[in-house]
Amino acid sequence: MFIRLENVYFTYSLGMPFETEVLKNINLEINEGEFIGLIGHTGCGKTTLIQHFNGLLKPTSGKVFVKGIDINKKRVNLKLIRQQIGLVFQYPENQLFEETIYQEVAFGPKKLGLPGEKIEKRVREALKIVDLDYNLYKERSPFSLSGGEMRRVALASILSIRPKMLVLDEPTANLDPQGRDNILSEIKKVHRDFGMTVVLISHNMEKIAEIVKRLLVMNRGEIIMDGSPQEIFEKHANDLIKIGLGLPQVTECMYELKKRGKEVYTGVLTVDDAEKEILNRVKKINKKIKI
């Protein structure tokens, strides 16, 4: 077990007129090597939740354990926790500040006190993961890049710390389809090749349904669903719509067919799944007609 949250509550502006309870009774376990999607509409507490993973926020009540250690106890070295759990915030390109891409990506390893040659190795490795050519990019200013490239540099500067777990808050927001696909394939790569645990927040139902293995759905500060995307989209389509989340178009299509009394499987998430399911149905029905 990597992370465990136990009865976590969090309230902003506690005791002030604007006091708001943002997290309510969160109980969550994340195992090493999992690939998790976190969805929920704006303001439901997603970002607040992930900030509890590495102690950026402390619960108002409840406990957070990382590898069995209660991270909010006194004398816990949060620096070590944060090396293991890398958070990539929304619009991480806004956090770039160095003069060159090399310096930007080297910042983390430098702070870890690594010797020069190791730093260089880490920078090369991180830039390779995000598909930016080391020699072409190392001397360039991060501010001369396109939005998509800047975001990849920001991701690289987290990867160079070699976290065990990567938590990304809407990493594809505002990118065009190509930029989005690049980032997502890089995230899939670190999960697959390095066994990194990944938690991904996204509003893109179609993409998230396709790539994650476990989906958490939040609403008003609570985790209201936890399961495989197939299971959640199959059984809870109605509830998802009610709380303002969309369905992937093909899932919505199956769901509507079912509403009209057609016996189709509604846990389809991709065009491939939908094509197969529809062709199977057509075959079955045609057989019946022949008889």
Partner 1 sequence: MVSILIKIESLSHIYNYHKKDQIKALDNISLEIESGDFISIIGPNGSGKSTLARHLNCLLLPTSGNIWVEGMNTKEEDNTWKIRQKVGMVFQNPDNQIVATTVEDDIAFGLENIGISEKIMKKRVDWALEVVEMEEYKKSEPHLLSGGQKQRVAIAGVIAMHSSHLVLDEPTAMLDPRGRREIIDIVKKLNQEENITIIYITHLMNEAAESNQVIALDEGKVVLVGKPKEIFIQTDILKKLRLDIPQITELAIRLNKKGLNISSHILKVEEMVNSLCLYV
Residues that bind partner 1 (CB under 8 A): 41-43, 146-148, 173-179, 203, 205-206, 244-246, 248-250, 252-253, 256-257, 260, 262, 264, 270-271, 274-275, 278-279, 281-282, 285
The nearest distance, CB 237 to partner 1, in angstroms, is: 12
Whichever of 161 and 209 has its CB closer to partner 1, that residue is 209
Instruction: Give whichever of 99 and 272 is closer to partner 1, judged by the CB atom.
Output: 272
How many C-beta neighbours within 10 Å does residue 266 have? 21
Please enumerate in sequence order all residues whose Cβ is within 8 A of that of 157, keeping only pairs 6 or more positions apart, or say none.
96, 104, 105, 107, 108, 126
Shortest Å, Cβ 259 to partner 1: 9
For partner 1, the closer of residues 67 and 276 by Cβ is: 276
Which CB sits closer to partner 1, 41 or 220?
Answer: 41
Shortest spacing between CB 3 and partner 1, in angstroms = 25
- Report phi then psi at 256, rounded to 5: -65, -40
Nearest to partner 1 of 148, 163 (CB atom): 148
In the block, tokens 């062709």 appear at: 279
CB of 60 to partner 1, least distance (A): 21
Task: Name the CA radius of gyration of the chain, rounded.
Answer: 21
**Cα 200 from Cα 198, distance rounded (Å):** 6
Which is nearer to partner 1, 206 or 222 (by Cβ)?
206
| Shortest distance, position 218 Cβ to partner 1, whole Å | 12
State how far the Cα of 180 lies from the Cα of 200, in Å rounded to an integer.
13
Q: Please answer whether residues 139 and 102 qualify as being in contact, where contact means their C-beta atoms are separated by less than 8 angstroms.
A: yes
Minimum distance from CB of 28 to partner 1 (Å)?
Answer: 21
What's the closest the beta carbon of residue 184 comes to partner 1, in angstroms?
A: 13
Pick the closer one to partner 1 by CB: 123 or 225. 225
φ, ψ of residue 3 to 5 degrees: the values are: -130, 140
